[in-house]
């Protein structure tokens, strides 16, 4: 199975900060990657698909990029509602696999 290594596992940030989260795939996955946000007690919410396409209704402060097997989720200016856990998910090959998650909390 394709391994997705996500970093950092946690970070502390303030409102207005620029936040960057990375996932590295164990092999090439083209751009077959999505980013999800999850808050406690809730289901994951899709933010980005196909590495860089913004899901409808998601604020434009969220963006995704790719470089080889490295994928990045950027929050340009962190808002109070963005404190949550973020996961990447590769859909290049079965079984689909998630990254280990990044918890973003208040500094």
Partner 1 sequence: EVQLVESGGGLVQPGGSLRLSCAASGFTFSSYWMSWVRQVPGKVPEWVGDIKEDGSEKNYGDSVKGRFIISRDNAKNLLFLQMDSLTGEDTAVYYCVRDLGYCSGRICYSVYDSWGRGTLVTVSS
**Binding interface with partner 1 (CB under 8 A):** 1, 30-32, 34, 36, 38, 43-46, 49-50, 53, 55, 87, 89, 91, 94-101
Residue 16 or residue 41: which is nearer to partner 1 going by CB? Answer: 41
In terms of C-beta density within 10 A (0-12 exposed, 13-18 middle, 19 or more buried), how is residue 34 classed?
A: buried
Residue 20 or residue 31: which is nearer to partner 1 going by CB? Answer: 31
Least distance CB 9 / partner 1 (angstroms): 11
Least distance CB 75 / partner 1 (angstroms): 20
For residues 102 and 7, the answer to whether their CB atoms sit within 8 Å is yes
Alpha carbons within 13 A on the beta-carbon side of 8:
9
Residue 45 or residue 61: which is nearer to partner 1 going by CB? Answer: 45
Tokens of 43: 């289901």
Least distance CB 76 / partner 1 (angstroms): 23
């Amino acid at each position: 199975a394709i391994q997705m290594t996500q970093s950092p596992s946690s970070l502390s940030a303030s409102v207005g900060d620029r936040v960057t989260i990375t996932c590295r795939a164990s092999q090439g996955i083209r751009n077959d990657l999505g980013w999800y946000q999850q808050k406690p007690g809730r289901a994951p919410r899709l933010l980005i698909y196909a590495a860089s396409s913004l899901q409808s209704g998601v604020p434009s402060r969220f963006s995704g990029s790719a470089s080889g097997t490295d994928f990045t989720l950027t929050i340009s200016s962190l808002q109070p509602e963005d404190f949550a856990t973020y996961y990447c998910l590769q859909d290049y090959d079965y079984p689909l696999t998630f990254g280990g998650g990044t918890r973003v909390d208040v500094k």
